[in-house]
Structure 1
Amino acid sequence: MAGDYSRKTFDQEKHYSGVLMQQGRVQLDADWNEQLAIQQYRTETETTDLVGATGVPKNNDGFKIGLSGPGSRLTIAAGRLYVEGLLCELSQDVTYFQQPCYPAPSIAYFQRQLGSPPTSPPDAGQLTLQDGSYLVYLDAWQREINFRDDPHIQEVALGEADTTTRLQTVWQVRLVKVTAGSGAPDCQSAFPEWDQLIAPPTGKLNVQTKRNTNPKDPCALPPTSGFRRLENQLYRVEVQQGDNRTVGTFKWSRDDASVETRIEAIDGANLVVADLGRDSVLGFANGQWVEIVDETATLTSRPNALFQIAAIDVDKQAITLNSSADALKANQNLKLRRWDQAAAALAMKPAGAVGDWIDLEDGIQVAFTEGSYHPGDYWTFAARTATGEVEWPPFAIPNDAPLPQLPAGTKHHYCRLALVQALSGVVTLQDCRKLFPSLTEITADDVQFNNTACQLPQAQTVQQAIEQLCQNQQGHCTLTASPGPGWEAVFDKIKEGQDAQICFKVGDYVLSKPVKISHKGHLKLIGGGPGTRILAPRLEVGLVFESCASVLVQDLYAEASNALKPILAGVSQLNGVLTFLSCPTVEVEHVKLQCGPGAVRTATCLTVRNEHKTPGSVRIRRCDLQVGHQQQGILLVNVTTALVENNTLRASSTRQLNLSSVVADKQQRAGLRQLLFSKAVLNASKGGSHNAEITVGDQRLSFKTLSPLRKAWQQLLTANPPLPNAAPADLQTHIKKLANRLLVDEVFRKTVPAFNQAIASLATQTQQVAAQGITVGGRTAQDIRVLNNTIVGSLQGVHVGLSHEQANHEDVDQAEAVTIAGNTIDVVLLPTASKQDRHGIFVGNCKSLLIENNNIRLNRLPDTDNFLIDGIRVWGNLGERLMITKNYVASADGNQKRSFVVGIHVEPLADKPRNAQWVVMWNMAPSKQTTVIARNGTLNVVGTNTP
């Protein structure tokens, strides 16, 4: 895109820092455009010096590449990124195929799972990458936008005058298949394909004016010498076809390609345009060469072919071309741009030409050097009648020794975002972005470390060096694990009962089956941070520690993607990516874990399980857990002491479940069925909670259903009637069977569009939800502290409860002391959760309890307004101390009618012990129905708000 400018004067080599206005002088566009160029150069240079060639702020996930859904559905996270000083922004998460400035993303590297060619537009959920390594990279540049691209630029108060243009930053996320050298490729590896991609053009343009070298009168300027036009011009020379000058072509304009109009319609070779130009000079005429410009061609740097004007109808504002343009009529933002050469695109090196110089017009000549050229590369130069010369380095008058110049634009900026590797349908990803902190948040993690002298393994920052020095003081690494096949054999080197410290290098540690580490001594597993990745792509469980004296896991990432079926042989309970069985002491710090989704709760991110007669102690601090849909974050069973502190647990958004997976589980299916049909009453009076009614013979059945299905039920029953003379109970059974059939039989469901649409809407949630965040259970617990954790997107936040099947009701399991304080809990209520436990905090059977300063918010998804749910619930046999204070329990959207039904619910099963203190005070709990409920005991309620 180009504008109507007089000339472009910015020259970096002159080191100007500003443009100064003088009084009473003519104002020129070139002066103020140079001021913008000076400021832009300063901003980009300064940003590059501070951030580096590329950088992403640490406090956002800008342009983080992810993998979502089956196959290789690439996602791009919202945020900011700087590339060579240019600011790129994305306001919301998108997929590779939804990029705002990439209208036709390449699908060259994708194939369908069955091997057939990809569709267009591609179905991202069905696509997989071909086996190989790929760099995901960012290509960013700036383009000019005028009022034809953005009508809001015009000022209607001035009669929609054409005043200014705008600079727009454009970016695209692309892929390039790369060939790795020896060893496993990483983000820093050299790739010839990448070097070729980012290589700038090397071809140059030279410009001169043709002069009469033998004038008859040396004191007179011959009419054929120098620039001979009567008006000053700004010429633009632009590459039409790239590669080299032997095959390359170009086009040119004497008005910086600014003569253009909007195309209103295309019918074959006939165009209807918005206008025919300002006048005969800045307009369109027969015989001129024009280009149809559209958004796709502009954003993909693939210019369309040139057309020649065959005729013009002034009255109809119509232009007839020399050939049909129907192939472009469906494209967006169609414009017609005039070029001034006398033929189609010109050859950079005409066949049979003597020398390199090519005549443009009126004494101006251009020449192209050997080198590479890209479509869209351009040069501009001013031609002035006052001097008869062109403004071209070295800007001499006369300019007898012009110097060839590289293109003025378009300058592209590149950076690596991720390295993706695909093998037999399994896709792994390395984040290649470089993160930088704000100046006020710089830590030792952000300062690079010169490792030449110390040679600490994998130490790249001051923080990593400090941590490794601390580890060395405590004892050197007994064993070192390295990425690659068979890495898990490192555990076989530890004898039974032997202590060991295993140091993991940065890299991917892939598992094809769970690894069980049994009967060892005191173990320490130390990774290199999130770059140390234990990956179990088809498993529920990654590492299982059994009967070890103690286990410390620190500074690594572990992921198990399959929660659909249990895999650990002989163990039927919930297992985690990291599972600890009968280990007296377990510590997990600075660890990031992720488990996969399932229709029902079958897996956790982290499980610690002991026998109740030999409980153990647990400490889990500063960990980041991504919990799969309907799965559990932390599960602790039979622990003496537990400290769960400063962790973040979030429902993972990496993979969704389809409807068939959801209804395969009986509990999930029952929840969906209850939304379709519930609270049935025969021949009920009008009103109540019923919103639907069906009639079969002389029987009238009222019930509750989804609003869009109120009338659809009668139509469904008419098409699928019960047996004649069916009893009322048989009628309800028949309807339940129809509801079940609608859920499980896809063919039947599609015959009833209203039900098909409603059920699909229910099963496909806008967000995934974890079943539980932090759970402590079993028969034994002494000191349990759950402090300052953040739990986001969970049906249950914190659950602490001891119990077992017992013949004697006096034999009750009770936790000694439980403290739940300072936690932020975001509860999400699913429409399928009508049969599931749900609450913010639950504690059952406890001698001493403190629930303090927790922030609990409830998000009700559609069709859950009538679900019962408590914010804080305390139940069972309670001891002498019960204090619930300074908590905030409310709806996330501030609507009290969508909040918890009961804010704080205390239900003792036995009388209050003598001298006990049970107090609920100073809480804020605006609830849908009741703020505080207390039964079977004396509960002091002080300063707690009511609805």
Structure 2
Amino acid sequence: MHADVERFSFDQGKHFLRVIQQQGRVTLPADGNEQVAILLHHLQALAEDVIGPYGTPSPRTGGIGPGFRIDAPPAGQEAGVFRIGQGRYWVRGRACENDTDGLLYTGQPDLPGPAIPVTGTWLAYLDVWERHLSAAEDDSIREVALGGPDTCTRTRLVWQVRLTDTAPPGRQFDKDDIRNHWDAWEAFLQPAGRGLLAARARRGKGPLEPCVADPAAGYLGPENQLYRVQIHRGSGEEGGPTFTWSRDNGSVVHPLLRLNGTAAVLRDPPRDRRTALPVGTLVEVVDDRSTLLGRPGTLARVKDIDDEGDDYTVVLDTDAGTIEADRHPLLRRWDHPDVDGGGDLPRRAADGALLLTAQDPVGWFTLEDGIQIRFQPPDTADVHYRTGDYWTFPARTATGDITWPADPSGGPADLPPQGVEHFYAPLALLSLVPGQPAAVTADLRTGFHPVRVQ
């Protein structure tokens, strides 16, 4: 999530039960966020232990409840379209709720413009993930009485009924095979090898004398920061994977009133130096559609600022097309400068991001102020970098270092992404014939009976 926080401190491996505030002590937002994360982890684990990996509440009279049941469409609907049953479906302890009776596949609120299948056998499944939302994407979060500043942000559970006609190696579109080997389908939909990253503050060139400081070593930034490294273009796309980075967790965003080509009209002008967009700044044009579909936004450099009239217009050096206001377009600021790399500096890709392939022999990139990162080489068959996956780490002036776990040898550990995590559940098998309604050949849902106290 792109929240403006000092750090993400929840660590499942520590098995903390609660956060305890002490009198007369400083309290940080990270403490409250960690308490929520601890409680949410326990609730989701409990739900999964009781319900199983997925399931919907079912009546005690028998059968499976209507939640997320896949049905043929009403008469007159386009071929290949089907209905999604109203109700609740739990996936890995997360409650997916469909509030619309007879929701059409093409009318899902969190899946814009889904492709309509034409023919063949298809698996309908649930794709579930957590989306971060700020007042830039949902204005109802903002308290207007404050005159502009935002307060807390939110996350919401996104569910999408998706289709696939491709089975994992060794698996087939068979009801029993899917149920008995769903772990293989999950690994196929979200490969385990999503790439690894290590991070560190630059080390000195040799052992230091006790009273000698190496001016080139450590974190040299003037402020405490939460760095974010994020995959922009994933593996398998032309040009190979790319990435972007931010020293503020990518939290500096500006909602747009409208976007037309290179002219981006901001809803509110930048309030201070931290949120400013000086000429040369790299920004990403993001909206609901690109976020929900997991696609990278258009990257551009700020070419000029026009604040003479009633509008505050950011002039971009790249045509970003036209995005309507109902898709909540915004500019997200990234911090890598407008220079091409070489040596330990990452090289710039054609899309404006940075090439993930390392340039120096040991694979370390230098971002700024002694911050260095190292990716797992992407040219390996079992490594699949995915758009939107990210890593964060705090850098602190008091220690001149960053916070990053160590491996057994004492060096920085190679870690998988912190998110975005997707969870999946099978719903139904569909048989499609051109020009005919979708036919459900198997209901793959699982039901459970609510616990009743005697």
Q: Tell me whether the two structures share a fold, i.e. TM-score over 0.5.
A: yes
Q: Secondary structure at the match of 1:13?
A: helix
Q: Deviations over 1:439-487 (max 9, x none)?
A: 1299xxxxxxxxxxxxxxxxxxxxxxxxxxxxxxxxxxxxxxxxxxxxx
For residues 406 and 337 of structure 1, the distance between their equivalents in structure 2, rounded to whole angstroms, comes to 24
Residue in structure 1 matching 2:319, options 297, 321, 324: 324
Give me the whole-angstrom Cα distance separating, in 2, the residues matched to 1:440 and 1:266.
54
Q: Which residue of 213, 219, 226 maps to 1:234?
A: 226
**Which residue is equivalent to 1:137?**
125
Give CA deviations for 1:735-780 in whole Å, capped at 9, x if unaligned: xxxxxxxxxxxxxxxxxxxxxxxxxxxxxxxxxxxxxxxxxxxxxx
Q: Equivalent residue for 1:66? A: 71
Q: Distance in 1 between matches of 2:290 and 2:167?
A: 29
User: What CA distance in whole angstroms lies between the structure 1 residues aligned with 2:208 and 2:123?
Assistant: 65
Offset at residue 172 of structure 1 (A): 0.4
Which entry has the higher C-alpha Rg, 1 or 2?
1
Q: CA deviation at 1:347?
A: 0.9
Whole-angstrom distance in 2 between the partners of 1:139 and 1:84: 11
State yes or no: 1:214 paired with 2:224: no
- Tell me if the contact between 1:239 and 1:251 (Cα under 8 Å) persists in the aligned partners: yes
Question: What does residue 333 of structure 1 align with?
Answer: 328
Change (3 A) 1:384 1:176: same
Residues 286 and 298, structure 2, Cα contact 8 Å, conserved in 1:
no
Deviations 1:812-845 (A, max 9, x none): xxxxxxxxxxxxxxxxxxxxxxxxxxxxxxxxxx
Q: Does 1:360 align with 2:367?
A: yes
Q: CA 1:298/1:187 → structure 2, altered by over 3 Å: closer, same or farther?
A: farther
Q: Cα 1:76–1:328, aligned 2, differ >3 Å: closer, same or farther?
A: same
Among 207, 213, 216, the residue aligned to 1:224: 216
Moved more, 356-365 or 239-248: 239-248
For residues 660-703 of structure 1, the C-alpha deviation after alignment (integer angstroms, 9 at most, x for no partner) is: xxxxxxxxxxxxxxxxxxxxxxxxxxxxxxxxxxxxxxxxxxxx
- Give unmatched runs, 5+ long, in structure 1: 111-129, 443-947
Question: Judging changes above 3 Å, is the alpha-carbon distance between structure 1 residues 15 and 215 closer, same or farther for their aligned structure 2 residues?
Answer: closer
SS of the residue aligned with 1:393?
coil
TM-superposed deviation, 1:36: 0.7
Give how far 1:201 is off: 4.0
1:262 aligns with 2:258: no
In the alignment, what sits opposite 1:166?
A: 154
1:155 and 2:143 matched: yes
Matches within 5 A, 1:519-530: none
Spell out, residue by residue over 1:395-428, the C-alpha distance to the aligned partner (whole angstroms, 9 max, x if none). 99xx951101111011101000001123575734
1:295 to 288, 293, 307: 288
Query: 1:23, CA displacement in angstroms?
Result: 0.7
- Correspondence for 2:430: 420
SS at the partner of 1:420?
strand
Paired residues of 1:296 and 1:331 also in contact (CA < 8 A): no
Determine the C-alpha separation between the residues in 1 that align with 2:187 and 2:4: 36
Is it true that 1:345 corresponds to 2:333 in the alignment?
Answer: no
* Structure 1 residue identity aligned to 2:384: S
User: Which residue pairs with 1:720 in the alignment?
Assistant: none
1:316-465 equivalence runs, <5 A = 316-329=311-324, 332-343=327-338, 344-350=352-358, 352-370=359-377, 371-394=383-406, 401-422=411-432, 425=436, 427-440=439-452
1:272 maps to which residue?
Answer: 265
Q: For the residues of structure 1 that align with 2:4 and 2:327, how far apart are their CA atoms?
A: 23
Partner of 1:937: none
Compute the RMSD of aligned alpha carbons.
2.6
2:428 and 2:440 in contact (8 A); partners too: no
2:328 and 2:267 mapped to 1: Cα distance?
13
How far apart are the structure 1 equivalents of 2:55 and 2:194? Answer: 27
Q: Is the 8 A contact 1:187 1:419 kept in 2?
A: no
Once the two structures are superposed, the pairs formed by residues 469-508 of structure 1 within 5 Å of their partners are: none
Task: Check 1:419–1:263 CA distance in 2 against 1; reply closer, same or farther (3 A cut).
Answer: same
In 1, Cα distance between the equivalents of 2:366 and 2:230? 15
In the aligned structure 2, how far is the partner of 1:211 from the partner of 1:184? 53
8 Å contact from structure 2 (residues 258, 325) kept in 1 = no
- Unaligned stretches of 5+ in structure 2? 60-64, 339-351, 378-382
Indicate the structure whose relative CO is greater, using CA pairs within 8 Å and at least 6 residues apart.
Answer: 2
Alignment of 1:927-938 (within 5 A): none
Q: 1:433 to 1:362 in 2, by over 3 A?
A: same
SS at 1:73's partner residue? Answer: coil
Decide which of 84, 90, 106 is 2:92's aligned counterpart.
84
Judging changes above 3 Å, is the alpha-carbon distance between structure 1 residues 299 and 264 closer, same or farther for their aligned structure 2 residues?
Answer: same
CA 1:187 to 1:158, structure 2 compared with 1: closer, same or farther past 3 Å?
A: farther
Question: Which residue does 1:313 correspond to in 2?
Answer: 306
Is the Cα–Cα contact under 8 Å of residues 291 and 337 in structure 1 kept in the other structure?
yes
In structure 2, C-alpha distance between the alignment counterparts of 1:87 and 1:291, rounded to whole Å = 32
Change (3 A) 1:269 1:286: same
* One-letter code aligned to 2:249: D
User: How much has 1:218 moved relative to structure 2?
Assistant: 4.0
Q: Which letter does structure 2 place at the counterpart of 1:20?
A: I
Tell me how far apart the structure 2 counterparts of residues 391 and 151 of structure 1 sit (CA, whole Å).
34
Q: Distance in 1 between matches of 2:33 and 2:124?
A: 35
How much has 1:267 moved relative to structure 2?
3.1
For 2:321 and 2:249, the matched residues in 1 are separated by 27
Distance 1:291 1:359 in 2: 22
| Native 8 Å contact 2:186 2:424 kept in 1 | no
Go from structure 1 to structure 2 and tell me whether the alpha carbon gap of 1:269 and 1:381 turns closer, same or farther (over 3 Å shift). same
1:27–1:215 CA distance, 2 compared to 1 (3 A): same
> 2:106 & 2:128 partners in 1: Cα distance?
17
Change (3 A) 1:58 1:212: same
> SS state of the match for residue 140, structure 2?
helix
| Alpha-carbon distance in structure 2 between the residues aligned to 1:215 and 1:400 | 16
Aligned match of 2:47: 47
Letter in 2 for 1:240: H
SS at match of 1:285: coil
Cα 1:182/1:220, change in 2 over 3 Å: closer
What SS class does the counterpart of residue 381 from structure 1 fall into?
A: strand
Q: CA deviation at 1:327?
A: 4.0
The alpha carbon displacement at 1:143 in A equals 1.1
CA 1:436–1:283 in structure 2 vs 1: closer, same or farther (change >3 Å)? same
Decide which moves more: 208-217 or 286-295: 208-217
Separation (CA, whole Å) in 1 of partners of 2:172 and 2:291: 40
Cα-to-partner distance string for 1:683-729 (whole Å, 9 max, x where unaligned): xxxxxxxxxxxxxxxxxxxxxxxxxxxxxxxxxxxxxxxxxxxxxxx
Does the residue aligned with 2:124 lie in a helix, a strand or coil? strand
C-alpha displacement of 1:265: 2.1
Cα shift at 1:187: 4.8
> Within 5 A, what are the aligned runs for 1:553-564?
none
Output the CA distance in 1 between the equivalents of 2:26 and 2:280.
37
Does structure 1 residue 146 correspond to structure 2 residue 154? Answer: no
CA contact (8 A) 2:56 2:67 kept: yes
Distance (whole Å) between structure 2 residues aligned to residue 385 and residue 183 of structure 1: 55
Residue 195 of structure 1 and its aligned partner are, at CA, apart by 4.5
In the TM superposition, what is the alpha-carbon distance from 1:194 to its structure 2 partner? 6.3
Match of 1:24, SS state, is coil
TM-score if structure 1 supplies the norm length? 0.42
Q: Quick check: which one's strand share is greater?
A: 1
Q: TM-score, normalised by structure 2?
A: 0.86
Q: Shift of residue 319 of structure 1?
A: 0.8
The 3 A distance-change label for structure 1 pair 143 and 395 is: farther
Q: Does the aligned pair in 2 maintain the 1:348–1:367 contact within 8 Å?
A: no
Letter in 1 for 2:6: S
